[in-house]
Amino acid sequence: MSSQQQLAVAAEFARAVPPCPHFGLCGGCQLQDLAYSAQLEFKAAHLRTLLAAADVPLPELQLHASPPLAYRNRIRLTLAMADGQLRAGYLGDPEEHASDSLGGPFIPPRGMSGEERLHRSPTFVPITQCPIAAPLLWRAAEAFLALANADAALWPSLNPDQLELFTDASESRLQLTLYLRAAARSLPTNLPANFTALCESLRAQLPSLAGAAIALLPPAARSRRTEVPKPGPAWGSPGLNYTVPLLEPLSLVPPTSNPEPMNYWVPRGAFFQVNRFLLPELLALVTATANSSLAAQLEPARAYNKSATSPQLAWDLYAGVGLFARALFSRTLARSFAHVTAVEIAEPAFTALSQTKLSNLRAVKATALDFLRGAVIERDRPALIALDPPRTGAGAEVCALLARIAAPTLVYVSCSPRALAADLAALAASGYSVSQLHLFDLFPQTMHIETVAILTRSL
């Protein structure tokens, strides 16, 4: 019996009652019929299998579990008419099913083979609940639908298509984005007033609603990954302040008490990690790694009677709104970087990054590749580089440039095990070794895996 077959047999003994009545239909969660402990075991085995392609020595995998439900701080619902009412739901999306998170020990829901899931057409599934979302998000969706169905004339000649909801970790602030498809070039003149009235009514029911906006999509639907919406009417704040309690990192020298929380300004529509429970643990790992990196680099300097001043520079590539950049010079660190360069190309994340009132953070609007192409001819060399690339990974040229820059420590955050395997192989060939490997279960109930690899090289 192969290892895949053994895992499949073991899964039958770990079956659980799915917490969502829409399991197997909406396409969002593939593992709800497995006990959470079994989900972690399968993901770990899946990750090890995919990373074996890198053919590099790997340390013991460290698992970071999450509360399995109510963890998402953001959801994006599809809107469609069903039984004469505007309903919210999800699509069974072949793009997601065909992603590189499949291909390992995947155990599909009963009654549907993995092959059937991969090749079925997108189907709108109206839902009545979403157990993986923060409770505030579904309450907001229900309140929105009730108001929209009570007044069908809110947006004449416009087709409601999607509803995105984003909350902070404590569910005390909420942002809403309504995506409309516009057939006409000009918007109805009463749209701004109607939308304002809708938002005011929503806030009466949901005092946490801080801001909302309409985003206009082209008349014909295309892939959400390629559609670029145009801004429409807006109400309230354009974003929200997101506070992440910072856990005391491991290996602090000397240890501190009551670490200060990390505060982020997240504009509406900007990328931010969706698991509201594991973010403190993820940032704690980054700060602990930064502290250890600085401490390790001080010792050679002392040995040669050089200055004991620590290297002053860190880089955060694919920085978003600065999730890791802010942590790299946190005052929680026993030793901290004096300067952090954060590189981001996407709006509105870059604008938020550039407007941070931190004198030691330099925001650069560029792709990571373009930034590194210029950086290799400069004299500045960082002590640590954090990178969190998209699903495609960093890629061969970025890895080659990182090898030329030769930072002593890399913190590589990956949402694609296959891409990570290729990048680890390239970095290992240039002298890096993987000193730590972490699986952060940012997406319980799904096959998606977030990995953090800490890479080091000799000074």
Assess whether 321 and 427 both reside in one domain.
yes
Q: Which of 237, 266, 289 is the last residue of a domain?
A: 237
367 versus 114: the higher-pLDDT residue is 367
Q: Which of 183, 208, 237 is the last residue of a domain?
A: 237
Looking at the structure of the chain, the number of domains it has is 2
Smallest CA-to-CA distance from 438 within 286, 324, 259 is with: 286
Question: Would you give the end-to-end CA distance of the chain in angstroms?
Answer: 46
Structure tokens at 365: 């609007």
The pLDDT confidence band at residue 256, using thresholds 50, 70 and 90, is low
Q: Is residue 4 part of a domain?
A: no
228 versus 215: the higher-pLDDT residue is 215
Q: Is residue 147 part of a domain?
A: yes
Assess whether 205 and 253 both reside in one domain.
no
Assess whether 299 and 345 both reside in one domain.
yes
Res 4 pLDDT > 60:
no
Supply the CATH number for residue 401's domain: 3.40.50.150
Burial 97-122 (b: 16+ CB within 10 A, else e): bebbbbebbbbbbeeeeeeebeeeee
Structure tokens at 381: 């060399």
Domain encompassing residue 205: 74-237
Q: Is residue 288 part of a domain?
A: yes
Assess whether 186 and 297 both reside in one domain.
no
Assess whether 210 and 253 both reside in one domain.
no
Res 168 pLDDT > 70:
yes
State the Cα–Cα distance between residues 437 and 454, nearest whole angstrom: 6
State the Cα–Cα distance between residues 382 and 379, nearest whole angstrom: 10
Span of 5-19, 59-73, 245-259, 351-365 with lowest mean pLDDT: 245-259
Assess whether 208 and 264 both reside in one domain.
no
Assess whether 230 and 250 both reside in one domain.
no
Q: Is residue 14 part of a domain?
A: no
344 versus 250: the higher-pLDDT residue is 344
State the Cα–Cα distance between residues 164 and 73, nearest whole angstrom: 11
- 26-40, 351-365, 381-395 — most confident range: 381-395
Task: Please state whether beta strands 158-167 and 174-182 pair in parallel, antiparallel, or not at all (unpaired).
Answer: antiparallel
Q: Which of 184, 214, 237 is the last residue of a domain?
A: 237
Residue with token string 């082209």: 218
- Mean of per-residue pLDDT scores for the chain: 85
Assess whether 226 and 103 both reside in one domain.
yes
The answer to whether 246 and 284 are in contact (CB under 8 A) is yes
Q: Is residue 159 part of a domain?
A: yes
Supply the CATH number for residue 133's domain: 2.40.50.1070
Q: Where are the beta strands (DSSP E) in 2-157?
A: 61-64, 74-82, 85-91, 124-126
Q: Is residue 32 part of a domain?
A: no
Residue 224: what pLDDT? 67
The pLDDT confidence band at residue 83, using thresholds 50, 70 and 90, is confident
Percentage of the chain with pLDDT > 70?
81
226 versus 299: the higher-pLDDT residue is 226
Assess whether 302 and 389 both reside in one domain.
yes
Q: Using alpha carbons only, give the angle 291, 297, 299 rounded to the nearest 5 degrees.
A: 110
Percentage of the chain with pLDDT > 90?
64
Q: Is residue 69 part of a domain?
A: no
Structure tokens at 256: 């501190």
Residue 105: what pLDDT? 37
Assess whether 230 and 257 both reside in one domain.
no
DSSP for 335-389 reads S--SEEEEEE-STTHHHHHHT---TTEEEEES-HHHHHHHHTTSS---SEEEE--
Q: Is residue 341 part of a domain?
A: yes
Res 313 pLDDT > 70:
yes
